[in-house]
Amino acid sequence: MVLLRNVSNAIWHAFQALHQESEGLVAKTKLKVLTANMASTLDLYGVEKGLEQFSSTSTLNFQHFLDYLQKEVFSSILITKLRDLRQYEEKIEEICWLICRKNFTSTLFKDTQIFYLFRIYCLFSDMNSDGDFSVSLNPEEAVIILQKVTESLGLDCEKDKRITSLNKGHKTFDFQEFINLFVEFKDDKHSLEYDQSMYEVINDIYQTYIKDVVKKGYLLRKGYLLPTFKEYWVVLQPCELSLYKNKNEKELSGVIQLDPQFALRPIHCNSPTKSEKLLKFSLKSGERNIEFATRDHKSRIQWITALQLAITYSAGERGFQRDLIIRRKKKREYEEKMKKDEENIVLKQFEMARSQLEEEKRARKAAEELARVDSRRVAELEDMKENLEKLLEEEIQAKRDEEIVRALQARVLAEEWEKREELEQLQKEQTALYEEEKQKRIEFEQLQKEKEVELSLAEQKLKELEDERIKLDKELKHARFKIIRSEETKEDLESRIDSLLPTLSGASLRRTSSFVMSSSRDRPTIFENQVFDTRRSRIKK
């Protein structure tokens, strides 16, 4: 029933937007359409037909409609993954928005922006079931949203009159009043640039609270085929880690589905480049091991903390932001309960004081009767009466002050214990981080020494190879020069032979040609001699 509880506020808005036959009642024929649309998103069909037999009347109030949805529609849905739950929530709230959006229009915002604000309002608002159902936004939650807006626009939250007025007031907000809060920001600077900024702010709030984005930013990831780190724009949610090529989040490079089986482990290793150092950590689940890296220690701590938080919430029934909202709501309920208890204590003390005053009045009447007998005794009793009344009032006031101080002391003591536990936890984490960094520094220094030795050996070897290459280049140039000289000599000889051919007889010509051929076959080439000399020099070395 988690899905129904999460979308109840949106369903209430759709219920209110339908034409009502009377106050708080909607015809079943119109509720059938809403039920059929919501059921189709859940792959259920025909469940709206049961509305006719659910009640003998032709109309239903919101409580009966919720009971029917819980029994006939949402009870058959089994959702085990937070990602699927978030998709169903978006589809159902979009259906509800299509029904009720005609009641919430604004010329200053686009339809997409109003829909984003509608989902944000449904997430933060509370449903009051006392008497008639209603959905309203607590001013504390409105302050949190507006603080996010002012920070995104570069304004000062503490000096903004809109936020300070909300902190002082105790009025709840409906959705139209919630839209008007954003309209006030646009009225300040109504320009195209400011409109684009407001759109980005609303989209950022939507991503943070509705999409439950825990953290965004650049992160280095090690490749599978090539062991090099590549930078990605990463969007972290409780159920998945999405990697994009750039900040506009249009080209998706990969998605890592998170679950409680993943474990985080920091890794100490140098960056593959000489100009920078990378601080690594791994995300491991079974045999799957994914390595990430950052360029500074602070970023690594932030990413490890955010990833641990996302892994913790990956198997839960509600996201991180919804859990924070529920915690704040429980805290407000607890504070209201404590306030009522304090008021009851003060009321009881007042009743006791009033009973004491009644007793004093009766005692005064008895004293007046006795005073009739003795006038002197009457004067004494009057003085006693005045003193007793003063003492009683002082005692009552002292008891009230004592109870208030005790309540405040108990609250301060509880807060002190919480702060002390948080401080001890932070001290433990700081000590662990210090020891870890100390060990890493020792390992890094050792590794650096080894790398320096290897670098010196490599430089020496490189110098030797460079000398040998220069020597071989010289030998190759010399061999090429000899080959060119041999070719020139050969061409000169052939030209001389051609000039002597007419004067020589046939026998002489044959003897000359055979002599030249035999001499050319028997004599090794200049290049062969050069290769032989090179091999002989290497053997000597």
Find the length of the chain.
Answer: 541
Check residues 187 and 114 and name the one with the higher pLDDT: 114
Tell me the average pLDDT across 4-19: 87
What residues contact residue 368 under an 8 Å CB cut-off, 6+ apart? Answer: 378, 381
pLDDT at site 275: 40
Neighbours of 436 (CB within 10 A): 12
pLDDT of residue 243 exceeding 90, the answer is yes
Q: What's the CATH number for 215-316?
A: 2.30.29.30
pLDDT at site 523: 47
Q: Which two tokens stand for residue 209?
A: 């609270």
| DSSP string computed for 188-222 | HS-SHHHHHHHHHHHHHHHHHHTS---EEEEEEEE
The CA distance from 343 to 351, in Å, is 12
pLDDT, tens digit, 9 for 90 and up, residues 495-525:
888 887 766 555 554 554 554 444 444 444 4
pLDDT at site 536: 54
Pick from 140, 144, 145, 143: nearest CA to 201: 145
What residues contact residue 240 under an 8 Å CB cut-off, 6+ apart? Answer: 83, 255, 256, 257, 258
Q: Which two tokens stand for residue 459?
A: 């430089």
Query: Which helix (H) or strand (E) segment is 252 a member of?
Result: strand 252-257
pLDDT at site 274: 41
Mean pLDDT is lowest, of 106-110, 216-220, 280-284, 444-448, for: 106-110
pLDDT, tens digit, 9 for 90 and up, residues 208-231:
888 889 999 999 998 887 888 899
pLDDT at site 232: 94
Q: Are β-strands 59-60 and 126-128 bridged in parallel, bridged antiparallel, or unpaired?
A: unpaired
Of the pLDDT bands very low, low, confident and very high (cuts 50, 70, 90), residue 531 is very low
Indicate the SS3 state at residue 220: strand
Domain spans of the chain?
1-103, 215-316, 322-457, 459-540
Q: Is the Cβ–Cβ distance between 392 and 363 less than 8 Å? A: no
Residue 235: what are its φ and ψ, rounded to 5°? -120, 115
Tell me the average pLDDT across 244-262: 88
Q: Is the Cβ–Cβ distance between 22 and 105 less than 8 Å? A: no
Q: Which two tokens stand for residue 118?
A: 């509608």
pLDDT of residue 244 exceeding 90, the answer is yes
Q: Are β-strands 59-60 and 229-236 bridged in parallel, bridged antiparallel, or unpaired?
A: unpaired
pLDDT, tens digit, 9 for 90 and up, residues 314-353:
877 778 888 888 898 999 889 889 988 888 998 888 888 8
Q: Is the Cβ–Cβ distance between 257 and 327 less than 8 Å? A: no
pLDDT, tens digit, 9 for 90 and up, residues 338-394:
988 888 998 888 888 888 888 888 888 887 777 676 677 767 778 888 888 899 989
Tell me the average pLDDT across 109-119: 87
pLDDT, tens digit, 9 for 90 and up, residues 141-198:
888 888 888 887 777 666 566 666 665 556 788 888 888 888 776 655 555 555 677 7
Q: Is the Cβ–Cβ distance between 279 and 300 less than 8 Å? A: yes
Query: Which helix (H) or strand (E) segment is 146 a member of?
Result: helix 139-153
> Is the entire prediction scored with pTM above 0.75?
no
pLDDT of residue 540 exceeding 60, the answer is no
Pick from 468, 476, 471: nearest CA to 526: 476
